[in-house]
Copies of this chain bind each other. A is one copy, B any other.
Protein backbone atom coordinates (compact mmCIF):
# COMPACT_ATOMS: atom_id res chain seq x y z
CA UNK A 1 0.00 0.00 0.00
CA UNK A 2 1.29 3.42 -0.94
CA UNK A 3 2.13 6.15 1.55
CA UNK A 4 -0.16 6.10 4.58
CA UNK A 5 1.68 8.58 6.77
CA UNK A 6 -0.89 11.36 6.65
CA UNK A 7 -3.74 8.99 7.40
CA UNK A 8 -1.86 7.53 10.35
CA UNK A 9 -1.56 10.90 12.03
CA UNK A 10 -3.56 10.79 15.21
CA UNK A 11 -4.17 7.05 14.94
CA UNK A 12 -0.68 5.56 15.20
CA UNK A 13 -0.35 6.73 18.79
CA UNK A 14 -3.67 5.05 19.61
CA UNK A 15 -2.50 1.82 18.00
CA UNK A 16 0.65 1.87 20.09
CA UNK A 17 -1.42 2.46 23.24
CA UNK A 18 -3.61 -0.51 22.37
CA UNK A 19 -0.61 -2.77 21.82
CA UNK A 20 0.96 -1.71 25.11
CA UNK A 21 -2.36 -2.23 26.86
CA UNK A 22 -2.56 -5.82 25.62
CA UNK A 23 0.87 -6.68 26.95
CA UNK A 24 3.86 -4.97 28.51
CA UNK A 25 6.32 -4.61 25.63
CA UNK A 26 9.10 -2.52 24.09
CA UNK A 27 9.73 -0.33 21.04
CA UNK A 28 11.39 -2.78 18.73
CA UNK A 29 8.70 -5.44 19.32
CA UNK A 30 5.92 -2.86 18.89
CA UNK A 31 7.35 -1.93 15.51
CA UNK A 32 7.40 -5.59 14.41
CA UNK A 33 3.82 -5.96 15.66
CA UNK A 34 2.65 -2.95 13.65
CA UNK A 35 4.40 -4.33 10.58
CA UNK A 36 2.61 -7.66 11.03
CA UNK A 37 -0.69 -5.85 11.36
CA UNK A 38 -0.28 -4.37 7.89
CA UNK A 39 1.47 -1.10 8.72
CA UNK A 40 4.47 -2.38 6.84
CA UNK A 41 6.20 0.97 6.38
CA UNK A 42 6.28 1.99 10.05
CA UNK A 43 9.92 1.97 11.17
CA UNK A 44 11.63 1.99 14.56
CA UNK A 45 12.35 5.70 14.62
CA UNK A 46 8.68 6.55 14.30
CA UNK A 47 7.63 4.24 17.11
CA UNK A 48 10.34 5.51 19.43
CA UNK A 49 9.18 9.10 19.00
CA UNK A 50 5.66 8.00 19.88
CA UNK A 51 6.92 6.18 22.95
CA UNK A 52 8.97 9.13 24.14
CA UNK A 53 5.89 11.31 23.75
CA UNK A 54 3.75 8.88 25.75
CA UNK A 55 6.39 8.89 28.46
CA UNK A 56 6.66 12.69 28.45
CA UNK A 57 2.87 12.96 28.70
CA UNK A 58 2.78 10.60 31.68
CA UNK A 59 0.66 7.89 30.04
CA UNK A 60 3.04 4.99 30.58
CA UNK A 61 5.23 3.36 33.17
CA UNK A 62 8.71 2.38 31.99
CA UNK A 63 11.08 -0.38 33.10
CA UNK A 64 14.49 -1.11 31.61
CA UNK A 65 15.36 -4.80 31.49
CA UNK A 66 18.34 -6.66 30.04
CA UNK A 67 17.99 -8.75 26.89
CA UNK A 68 19.78 -11.97 25.98
CA UNK A 69 20.00 -11.05 22.30
CA UNK A 70 20.99 -7.37 22.35
CA UNK A 71 21.06 -4.15 24.32
CA UNK A 72 18.62 -3.59 27.23
CA UNK A 73 14.94 -3.06 26.40
CA UNK A 74 12.64 -0.35 27.69
CA UNK A 75 9.37 -2.07 28.60
CA UNK A 76 6.22 0.06 28.58
CA UNK A 77 2.96 -0.44 30.47
CA UNK A 78 -0.09 1.84 30.56
CA UNK A 79 -0.93 3.62 33.79
CA UNK A 80 -4.42 4.91 34.64
CA UNK A 81 -3.96 8.05 32.56
CA UNK A 82 -2.84 5.89 29.65
CA UNK A 83 -5.89 3.65 29.86
CA UNK A 84 -8.13 6.73 29.94
CA UNK A 85 -6.35 8.12 26.89
CA UNK A 86 -6.79 4.78 25.13
CA UNK A 87 -10.54 4.83 25.87
CA UNK A 88 -10.76 8.39 24.53
CA UNK A 89 -8.88 7.29 21.41
CA UNK A 90 -11.31 4.48 20.67
CA UNK A 91 -14.30 6.78 21.27
CA UNK A 92 -12.87 9.28 18.79
CA UNK A 93 -12.05 6.53 16.30
CA UNK A 94 -15.57 5.16 16.54
CA UNK A 95 -16.98 8.65 16.00
CA UNK A 96 -14.77 9.62 13.08
CA UNK A 97 -14.71 6.30 11.25
CA UNK A 98 -18.47 5.82 11.42
CA UNK A 99 -19.03 9.27 9.98
CA UNK A 100 -16.54 8.80 7.19
CA UNK A 101 -18.07 5.43 6.31
CA UNK A 102 -21.47 7.11 6.16
CA UNK A 103 -20.12 9.82 3.88
CA UNK A 104 -18.72 7.14 1.61
CA UNK A 105 -22.03 5.26 1.43
CA UNK A 106 -24.17 8.33 0.86
CA UNK A 107 -21.70 9.77 -1.62
CA UNK A 108 -21.81 13.12 0.17
CA UNK A 109 -25.44 13.64 -0.87
| Beta-carbon contact of A95 and B19 below 8 Å | no
CB-defined interface of A69-109 with B at 8 Å, one 1/0 digit per residue?
00000000000000000001011110111011111100111
Query: Chain A binding site: helix, strand, loop or mixed by DSSP?
Result: helix
Copies assembled: 2
What total of chain A residues lie within 8 Å of the partner, measured CB to CB? 39
Binds B, one of A6-14, A44-52, A59-67: A6-14
| Beta-carbon contact of A18 and B93 below 8 Å | no
Q: A10: nearest residue on chain B (CB-CB)?
A: B6
| Residues of B close to A38: CB separation below 8 A | 95, 99
Known: A1-B95, A23-B108. 5 other contacts (CB 8 A): A1-B91, A7-B93, A15-B100, A21-B107, A33-B108
